[in-house]
């Protein structure tokens, strides 16, 4: 009885990390497998442990579970679970519900811009990792990298797996996959009473006919922001009025309405970075935001690249766990789930224990001061929006290591809080 009471009041660190996912599995998803050789909750646990624990292979994970966590899992049981459509769908629903139930508790990374408060905004990109063992090869006997599309919410920083693009000896472009997956995703996620979501994409996702159809669609509308391509020659059909004195429009030099064949009216925004002098040109179907916000949102697309950097260089998720699009999707859902759980536990530390990564804040302030000095020496200035952006977005490697070590040491939550406080406040 005392042990049960201790577990309730002071759970293991790994249990606290998994708590939001466990709550969703128990209360909001139908058909969860709770019995058998590998219950769904255990697959989530082992998948997160593999992602966070740097296991080099599935066999490495199973040995780790046996020797460190004293859990025996049959090799065939674990690998079969990666190829189960039901498991994949459960993980997808788990991550969807996790975001829906927890994003309101996270700080709004776009809070400095009230015009964006009720706008759902996502960055989109594909992440390439290495092929799995025994993967198929292409016609020239070369291995094909595994590529998966992800979305990240620019308000919360939470991540979604959108779907497998290529692998197993076959090359595919991202846009055809995006067309199919985003339509299904919109039908599932978009409340028609709200404004259409905005997707910030690179030039590989430019398809004027497709985006026109989405913008005009009553049931699954969506808008986009991207950069123009060099060979684009739209017809200019208007010059909307915009406030040239507004601080948000700093750096904007032009805002035009344009049209392509078989497309709706779009905007072309020209922006010159006041710090570097670099000229950017953006294309968008968003007609109601200031042009400076269009530029800012595209420049914030780097946040999804930072998540990919964390995945590859801090979590060391650099190759596929198994072959086939189904296993690829399963792995991607687990990666997104792990990222989101790390973001949520970091916010719990800030909200309930007042722990923030002060070292990151101080480092950014020092870097910003240096950037201002360099810009001033060149007769330039740092864009004002930099002061409104949060100093902490990316998960730090020191934070991840501390969690990993605490889990390996079977540390309890309250003890781990002290270790995390020291780790997050100063560099080792």
- Which domain does 118 fall in, by range? 108-314
Same domain, 374 and 305: no
User: Which tokens sit at 390?
Assistant: 């949060």
* Same domain, residue pair 251 and 374: no
Q: What's the number of CA atoms in the CB half-sphere (13 Å) around residue 176?
A: 5
- Residue 245, in any domain of the structure: yes
Q: What is the number of structural domains in the chain?
A: 2
- Angstrom distances, CA of residue 101 to CA of 16, 104, 110, 116, 204: 17, 7, 19, 20, 32
Counting beta carbons within 10 angstroms of the beta carbon of residue 421, is it exposed (0 to 12), middle (13 to 18) or buried (19 or more)? middle
Residues 282 and 364 in one domain: no
Domain assignment present for 379: yes
- Three-state secondary structure readout of the chain: CHHHHHHHHCCEHHHHHHHHHHHHHHHCCCCCCCCCCCCHHHHHHHHHHHHHHCCCCHHHHHHHHHHCCCCCCCHHHHHHHCCCHHHHHHHHHHHHHHHHHHHHHCCCCCCCCHHHCCCCEEEEEEEEEECCCCCCECCCCCECCEEEEEEEECCCCCEEEEEEEEECCECCCHHHHHHHHHHHHHHHHCCCCCCCCEEECCHHHCCHHHHHHHHHCCCCCCEEEEECCCCCCCEEEECCCCCCCCHHHCCEEEEEEEECCCCCCEEEEEEECCCCCCEEEEEECCCCCCHHHHHHHHHCCHHHHHHHHHHHHHCCCCECCCCCHHHHHHHHHHHHHHHHHHHHHHHHHHHHHCCCCHHHHHHHHHHHHHHHHHHHHCCCCCCHHHHHCCCCCCCCHHHHHHHHHHHHCCCEHHHHHHHHHHHHHCCC
- In this structure, are residues 387 and 371 in contact, taking their beta carbons and an 8 Å threshold? no
Assign 3-class secondary structure to 99-138.
HHHHHHHCCCCCCCCHHHCCCCEEEEEEEEEECCCCCCEC
Both 248 and 381 in one domain: the answer is no
- Among 314, 346, 376, the domain boundary falls at 314
Is 34 part of any domain? no
Residue 24 within any structural domain of the chain: no
Question: What confidence score (pLDDT) does residue 218 get?
Answer: 58
Computed from CA positions of residues 37, 39, 43, 49, in that sequence, does the dihedral angle turn out positive or negative? negative
Asked if residue 268 and residue 184 are part of one domain, the reply reads yes
Greatest Cα-to-Cα distance within the chain, rounded to the nearest angstrom:
75
Rg over alpha carbons for the chain, rounded to the nearest Å, is 23
Q: Could you tell me if residue 353 is inside a domain?
A: no
Is 40 a member of any domain?
A: no
Which stretches of the chain drop beneath a pLDDT of 50?
Answer: 1-5
Interacting residues of 267 by C-beta distance below 8 A, sequence separation 6+: 240, 255, 256, 257, 258, 282, 283, 284, 285, 286, 287, 291, 294
Indicate the residue among 314, 343, 371 that finishes a domain: 314
- Residues facing residue 236 across a β-bridge: 258
pLDDT score recorded for residue 2: 40
Q: Is residue 365 part of a domain?
A: yes
Question: Nearest Cα to 160, choosing from 314, 307, 323, 16?
Answer: 307
Residue 46 CB neighbours (<10 A)? 24
Residue the block writes with tokens 């792990």: 338
> What is d(CA 150, CA 308) in angstroms, rounded to the nearest whole number?
10
In a domain, 88, yes or no: no
Determine the pLDDT at residue 3: 43
Residues 244 and 373 reside in one and the same domain: no
Pair 276, 377 in one domain: no
Do 135 and 265 lie in a common domain?
yes
Pair (188, 292) in one structural domain = yes
At 133 the pLDDT is: 87
Sign of the Cα torsion 27, 28, 31, 37 reads: negative
Report the predicted TM-score, pTM, of the whole model to 2 decimal places: 0.95
Considering the domain architecture, whether residues 168 and 308 belong to the same structural domain is answered as yes
């Amino acid at each position: 009885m005392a042990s049960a009471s201790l577990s309730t009041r002071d759970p293991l660190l790994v249990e606290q990390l998994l708590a939001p996912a466990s709550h969703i599995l128990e209360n909001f998803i139908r058909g969860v497998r709770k019995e058998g050789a590998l219950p769904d909750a255990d697959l989530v646990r082992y998948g997160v442990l593999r992602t966070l624990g740097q296991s080099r292979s599935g066999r490495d994970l199973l040995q780790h579970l046996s020797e460190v966590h004293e859990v025996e899992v049959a090799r065939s049981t674990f690998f079969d679970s990666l190829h189960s459509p039901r498991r994949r769908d459960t993980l997808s629903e788990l991550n969807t519900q996790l975001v829906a139930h927890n994003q309101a508790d996270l700080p709004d990374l776009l809070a400095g811009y009230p015009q964006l408060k009720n706008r759902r905004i996502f960055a989109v990109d594909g992440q390439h990792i290495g092929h799995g063992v025994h993967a198929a090869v292409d016609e020239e006997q070369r291995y094909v990298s595994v590529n998966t599309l992800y979305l990240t919410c620019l308000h919360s920083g939470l991540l979604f797996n959108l779907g497998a693009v290529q692998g197993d000896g076959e090359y595919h472009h991202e846009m055809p996959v995006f067309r199919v997956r985003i339509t299904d995703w919109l039908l599932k996620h978009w409340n028609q009473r709200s404004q259409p979501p905005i997707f910030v994409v690179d030039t590989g996702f430019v398809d004027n006919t497709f985006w026109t159809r989405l913008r005009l669609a009553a049931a699954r509308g969506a808008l986009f922001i991207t950069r123009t391509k060099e060979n684009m020659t739209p017809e200019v059909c208007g010059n909307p009025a915009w406030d040239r004195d507004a601080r948000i429009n700093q750096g904007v030099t032009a805002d035009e309405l344009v049209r392509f064949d078989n497309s709706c009216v779009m905007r072309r925004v020209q922006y010159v970075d006041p710090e570097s002098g670099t000229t950017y040109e953006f294309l968008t179907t968003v007609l109601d935001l200031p042009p400076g916000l269009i530029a800012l949102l595209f420049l914030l697309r780097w946040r999804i690249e930072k998540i990919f950097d964390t995945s590859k260089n801090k979590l060391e998720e650099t190759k596929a766990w198994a072959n086939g699009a189904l296993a690829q999707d399963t792995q991607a859902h687990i990666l997104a789930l792990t990222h989101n759980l790390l973001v949520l536990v970091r916010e719990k530390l800030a909200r309930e224990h007042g722990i923030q990564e002060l070292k990151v804040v101080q480092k950014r302030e020092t870097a910003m001061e240096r950037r201002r000095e360099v810009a001033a020496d060149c007769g330039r200035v740092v864009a004002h929006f930099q002061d409104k952006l949060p100093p902490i977005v990316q998960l730090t490697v020191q934070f991840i290591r501390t969690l990993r070590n605490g889990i390996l040491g079977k540390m309890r939550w309250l003890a781990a809080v002290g270790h995390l406080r020291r780790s997050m406040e100063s560099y080792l």
